[in-house]
Amino acid sequence: MEIEEKTFRLRPFLESDEPAIVDSLNDWTVAQWLTRPPFPYTAEDARWWIDFVRRDHEGPQPGHFAIADPLDDRAVGCISLDIAETGKAAELGYWLATSHWGRGLATMTARAVVEHGFGTLGLKRLFATTDPANDASQQVLRKCGFEEIGPRLLDRPTKRGATQHILFERHA
């Protein structure tokens, strides 16, 4: 499925997005704040992700999207709802290529995905965790109506090494 607005298109990843994903996730400026994607990030990692998202969109609750430029359909980021087995809660995550930072794109796409999660997917609770030093991401979450719950120790550190994260959540 796709979510289209004037300034962005949310769509599944395509095979042709592989170089853009690899470039962005090998950029330390982006990768240092993330927990899940491997670093360094290979073409094989990107192919696995593209296939994972394709299968996610074949299921009943598609939650993972490429953020594409509506003008040329180039993938410039990713935004995801990682849905729990209960089908009622999901973790929000996102990244953008640095060329697209500072334009409000993360805030706009996160708002659209929150609406998709509570509306179309029928989720009841969304949450996100950030590195304590990730001021930009915390600001995105606040602007999307998430409440700061407090520090949480996670098994998976951010690539820059923070194991203590800040938990944010929002209820339907």
Interface with ligand COA in residues 112-131 (CB under 6 A): 130
Residues in 64-93 that interact with ligand COA by CB under 6 A: none
| CB closer to ligand COA out of 35 and 61 | 35
Separation between Cα atoms, residue 112 and residue 97, nearest integer Å: 19
Main-chain phi, psi angles of 89, to 5 degrees? -130, 155
Q: Name the H helices within 80-166.
A: 105-118, 135-143
34 vs 46, which CB is nearer to ligand COA?
Answer: 34
Nearest to 91 by CA among 4, 168, 8: 168
Q: Are 139 and 133 in contact (CB under 8 A)?
A: no
Output the smallest distance, CB 32 to ligand COA, in A.
8
| Minimum CB distance to ligand COA smaller for 25 or for 123 | 25
* Window contacting ligand COA (CB under 6 A); options: 4-12, 51-59, 81-89, 96-104: 96-104
| Binding of ligand COA by 140 (CB under 6 A) | yes
DSSP bridge partners of 94: 79
148 binds ligand COA (CB under 6 A): no
CB 109 within 8 A of CB 6: no
Q: Which spans of this chain sit near ligand COA (rule: CB under 6 A)? A: 30, 33-34, 94-96, 101-107, 130, 134-137, 139-140
